[in-house]
Amino acid sequence: MRFTTLPFFIFFIIAYVAYWNIKGRNRLWLLFVSSLLFYAAWSIGFTLHFILIITINYFLGRRLHEKKSKPILIASLLLNFSNLFLFKYFYLFLQALHDLTKNPLLLAENFNAILNKTTGLDSIVLPLAISFYTFQITAFLIDEYRGQIKNKTSFLEFAVFILFFPQLVAGPIMRHEEFLPKLHKIRADEGHISAGLFFLLLGLIKKVVIADNMIAPTTDVYLHPENYNGLSNAFATLGYAVRLYNDFSGYTDIARGIGLLLGLPLPLNFKGPYLALSIKDFWRRWHITLSSWLRDYIYIPLGGNRTTKLRSYINLVITFTLGGMWHGAAYTFVAWGFYTGVTLVAEQSLHSLFGRLAQNNKGVIAETLFAHKAQWIWKIIGNALLYTWTLGLFLIGLSFFNGINLQNALTMVQRIFTMARGIANPLNEFIFYQFLITILFNLLEVRGKRIFHENRFLTWGSLCLFTVVTMLLLGRYASGGGDFIYFQF
Amino acid sequence: MIFLKYRFLLFPLFALAMALCVDRFFAIPAIQRELILWKKIEPPLYESRKELQKQLLQKLPVHRRSGKTPALILGSSRSARFPGDVIDERLKNSVTYNFSAPLAPPSFYYYWLDQLQSRNVPLRFVLIEADSMLFTNKAIEYSLSYSYDTGFVLRNTIFFHDSRSPWKRGEGGFSTDEMGTFLLKRLFVTYRYPFSLDTIHDNHKSLTLLDAKKGVITRPALELHDAMIDQIQEINEKKLGGIPEVFTTRIDASDLPRDALLTFENMQLKNFRSSPAQIYFFKTIVENLATRQIPVIVYAPVLSRELRSLMAMEPEIVKFQKSVADFIDEAKRKHPESLVLYENFNESSRLQCREFEDSFHLSSVCFQKLTDLILNDLQAEENKKDTIRFSPDGRD
């Protein structure tokens, strides 16, 4: 069920009214049942598969809680990542084997023909939310192993934690401490309800009004970059950046809004990433829950930065390459992850280098660059350069992230850097204006703490007006819509 | 009750109720009139088909008495040009109703077929279109906004995911997303008639026109819109459907290549993906009619050479066209006693007339000849079937 459809709208209203009219443990049962229904609307078969995964992991988690056992931890990680590998990475694995051996049997269509003959299935279908729930379950099990979860978790609590429908399909990826304790402290809070409605409406605007209308301006450029000039290729990456941010942060806003309406605040996932002045800062603002997961469960166990500089750089590249693979089973995602890791390493190296230079030439720098009157100019120039560096590198990465294959992605990058000739996309200007609106949303994320007035009438009056405006905007700009981008992960 | 104790829990529901009340304001006909751009004829055309159906049902006893059976033309604006009076003059025993509407997809055809069959309306023949443009996801937009009813959509929605090829599946229908979009459009008027200040402004502009009798005249845009609606009503009454010729735009032949490129890009022919729902409805219509032995003519609209060249470079379109032809062949084999015709004159020399209003609309001057060719084929096939049925060896 997509959030932007009428069936979900009706489903949520019923769930909301029922939820606040029951108390205690029954509320958890309602969340459990409604989340199962939400998933079952996509596939009943895979719902059964999901329940099996949850049940097995619950019992493994129980064992880990009772006894810190490495074999059980390894078994649980193997189970979950095998499940993920089979459904998500099998075809990539097959493709890699085919590319190495050139054996035609390893082509996906031939494999599928055999699969169809033997089982009747046309292909291996990717279960909805598998990437998200695998990471969430894994984090829980590792935290149990590390002894970080003090209280025993009941099956119902664990199931609700994994299945919770607002965040199930595209995050935020939750940690146990961000959710489980709240299940016993659900209170009707006016601030939560008003904030919840606000985020729900904002998310709808971001997704339906902005993101969905960015599909047409960029699709053909990504499919046929060789036809378009360098500037249009560059604008296509900017357009995709607008679409990706509004789609994903829009989903997160809707998820957080629904969570707040149910008295269960979800963690922040975006914090104005398009305002970042360094790549390191960017990844602290973009998909925050994934970045922190990768840091805590891959980067730090690999040694993090508590090792030699070279080793820490290697750890960073490995972490981001795996992060890229998490997004999708294609060479382009691997390339994107690797590229992102390399840009981070490059930035850190440059930072060290300039840091040393600055240290050695402090006096000169202070006199020439930071003389009183000129200081603000240098700050603006400096920030502009840093912003261009950060956004520019991210946009180049998006040639891979959304590229249909490596060849297309490289063609895009080449055409951008050589300012190649070709067709000019007539929607470049439109893309730019959408980007400006996106910057406003980013500013709202960073500076919008005091959205709500102390005057209750003013707050609710504004929200009623916002609801009407949202309805008019959705009616005007709804394009028929597409799936949320992160649903495919 | 917790809602009484914590009344703020009701505020989101209250905000929603307020939005719905504001939305109802846009259902007022006088307000709706302001929200439809004056030159946008699709909403009144689609909505006029209800009146056409009413007309058919009212006149059915009269047709029966005069020995005439209704024939249906179900297509897009390309099929709106078929001259019903010429068809009826030729066939003698038919009265042709043209339910065609701009960019109407097979689900729209099936809706009207279903509506009439459920009222036991006999049919002389049914002509439907099969063109890749009508099998895209975009093609359903108008009909979801201005056609169907809730019961039809719910009955014909598929609720489970089926990854098999739509040409091989038995089950099918609207996706849950399409159903959801339809229901949203029924619930919120502003979803069907979006609020736009630009539209309101344009509707109040004065337009300068050239009248054949009066010369240069100035009229408010909304007045022209009302005149268009009158013309639609007139053509429904006098010509039993179709689209008034005055609504067509003609481009120079020299602009055809550019128009073809724009059409190719804007109509989702570039990077073509067929809609499983429309394939299902198309198959259902052909199967339904073949099973009931009602002659079905599948018409592939004649397109300009420039547009066909672009489409020929799109592998998914080539694959789609082959799938349509294969399906029709299979339908003929499965129902040898029925009449299933596939009329595709795009590569045929039988239709010499190749004048175009734009890259995907054959000029109305060619429709006389086109209609003759189709009727020749229909009558030839019917004679063949009759010969087989009444052969001297006594086969029946």
DSSP structure class, residue A210: I
Closest residue on chain B to A193 (Cα): B9
Per DSSP (E only), the strands in chain B are 69-74, 94-98, 126-129, 206-211, 215-220, 296-300, 340-344, 356-358, 361-362
| Joined tokens for residue B8 | 């703020």
Tell me, what's the pLDDT at B391?
43
Report CB contact under 8 Å: B8, A190. yes
What's the confidence (pLDDT) of residue A455?
A: 67
**Mean pLDDT, rounded, for A450-465:** 74
Q: Is A108 on the interface with B (CB under 8 A)?
A: no
Q: B16 is written with which tokens?
A: 């929603």
Output the pLDDT for position A262: 95
Comparing A286 with A457, the larger pLDDT belongs to A286
Set of chain A residues whose Cβ sits within 8 Å of the Cβ of B194: 472, 475-477
Greater pLDDT, A375 or B242: B242
Nearest residue on chain A to B184, alpha-carbon basis: A6
First to last CA, chain A: 16
The partner residue sitting opposite A471, judged by closest CB among B11, B23, B137, is B23
Contact present, A386 and A278 (Cβ < 8 Å): yes
Nearest to B260 by CA among B316, B312, B319, B320: B312
Q: Is residue A178 within 8 Å of residue A167, measured between CB atoms?
A: no
Mean pLDDT of A27-44: 92
pLDDT at B24: 93
Q: How many CB atoms lie within 10 A of CB A228?
A: 24
Res B395: pLDDT: 38
HSE value, Cβ hemisphere, 13 Å, CA-based, for A323: 28
pLDDT at B68 over 90: yes
Query: Which of A404, A471, A474, A479 has the highest number of chain B CBs within 10 A, making it the mutation to test binding with B?
Result: A471
Q: B137 to chain A: which residues are within 8 Å by CB? A: 480
* ipTM tops the 0.85 cut: no
What value does the mean pLDDT take over residues A393-403? 93
Candidates A116, A109, A112, A60; CA nearest to A83 is A60
Three-state SS at A194 = helix
**Strands (E) located in A59-211:** none
Contacting residues of B for A190, CB less than 8 Å apart: 6, 8
pLDDT at residue A58 tops 50? yes
**What DSSP designation does B205 have?**
S
pLDDT digits (tens, 9 = 90+) for B83-140: 999 999 999 899 999 999 999 999 999 999 999 999 999 999 999 999 999 999 889 9
Distance CA A185, CA B110 (A): 54
Contact across the interface for B180 and A43, Cβ inside 8 Å: no
Contacts of A388-394 with CB under 8 Å at 24 or more apart are A389/A278, A389/A279, A389/A347, A390/A276, A390/A277, A390/A278, A390/A279, A390/A281, A390/A282, A391/A241, A391/A274, A393/A279, A393/A343, A394/A241, A394/A279, A394/A282
Give the closest of B5, B13, B19 to A471, CB-based.
B19
- State mean pLDDT over B17-33: 92
Task: Answer yes or no: do A472 and B190 touch at CB < 8 A.
Answer: yes
The answer to whether A63 contacts chain B (CB < 8 Å) is no
Residues A80-119 as b/e (b if ≥16 CB within 10 A, e otherwise) read beebbeebbbbbbebbeebeeeeeeebebeebeeeeeeee
8 Å CB contact between A153 and A180:
yes
Measure B160 CA to nearest chain A CA, in Å. 7
Is B12 within 8 Å of A196 when comparing Cβ atoms? yes
User: What residue in A sits closest to B189 (Cα-Cα)?
Assistant: A475
- Across all residues in chain B, what is the average pLDDT? 90
Q: Determine, for residues A123 and B163 on separate chains, whether the beta-carbon distance falls below 8 Å.
A: yes
Can you give the pLDDT at residue B389? 53
How far away is chain B from the Cα of A45, in angstroms, using its nearest Cα? 11
Cβ neighbours of B1 in A, within 8 Å: 21
- Number of CB pairs, chain A paired with chain B, less than 8 A apart: 108
Question: Measured between CA atoms, how close is A112 to chain B, in angstroms?
Answer: 12
Q: How far is B44 from chain A (nearest CA, A)?
A: 19
User: Do the Cβ atoms of A246 and A218 come closer than 8 Å?
Assistant: no
With 80 as the cut, is the pLDDT of residue B392 above it?
Answer: no
SS3 for B211? strand
pLDDT given for residue B106 in this prediction? 97
Chain A residues whose CB is inside 8 A of the B187 CB are: 6
Task: Answer whether B180 sits within 8 Å of A188, measured CB to CB.
Answer: no
pLDDT for A379: 81
Tell me the mean pLDDT in the region B304-330. Answer: 94
Q: Which residues of B touch A477 (CB under 8 A)?
A: 194
Position A486 scores a pLDDT of 62
Token reading at A79: 């189970």
Q: Which residue has the tokens 């073809």?
A: B260
| Cα of B247 to nearest chain A Cα, Å | 25
Mean pLDDT of chain A: 88
* A125 vs B contacts (CB less than 8 Å): 163
* Minimal CA separation from B168 to chain A, in Å: 12
Residues A35, A165 contacting (CB under 8 angstroms): yes
Q: Confirm or reject contact between A423 and chain B (CB < 8 A).
A: no
Point out which residues pair with B74 in neighbouring strands.
B128
Q: What is the pLDDT of residue A330?
A: 87
Q: How far apart are the CA of A292 and the nearest CA of chain B, in angstroms? A: 33
Determine the distance in angstroms separating the CA of B275 from the nearest CA of chain A, rounded to an integer. Answer: 14
Does position A489 have pLDDT exceeding 80, yes or no?
A: no
- C-beta atoms of A475 and B190 within 8 A: yes
To 5 degrees, how large is the angle CA A63–CA A65–CA A71?
50
Closest partner residue to B188 (CB to CB) among A5, A193, A475 is: A475
Taking the mean position of all CA atoms in its chain, how far away is CA A238? 18
Q: Over the stretch A226-273, which tens digit does the pLDDT of each residue have?
A: 999 999 999 999 999 999 999 999 999 999 999 999 999 999 999 999
User: What is the rounded CA–CA span in Å between residue A190 and residue A210?
Assistant: 29
Q: Strand B296-300's sheet: what is its strand order?
A: B94-98, B69-74, B126-129, B296-300, B340-344
Cβ–Cβ below 8 Å for A43 and B12: no
A116 has a chain B CB within 8 A of its CB? no
In a mutagenesis test of the B interface, which of A189, A464, A484 is the best target, namely the one with the most B β-carbons within 10 Å? Answer: A464
Cα(B174)–Cα(B182) distance, integer angstroms = 10
User: Considering only alpha carbons, which residue of chain B is nearest residue A216?
Assistant: B266
The predicted model gives A366-381 an average pLDDT of: 66
CA separation for the pair B228, A101 (Å, rounded): 66
From chain B, pick out residues whose CB is under 8 angstroms from the CB of A464. Answer: 14-15, 18
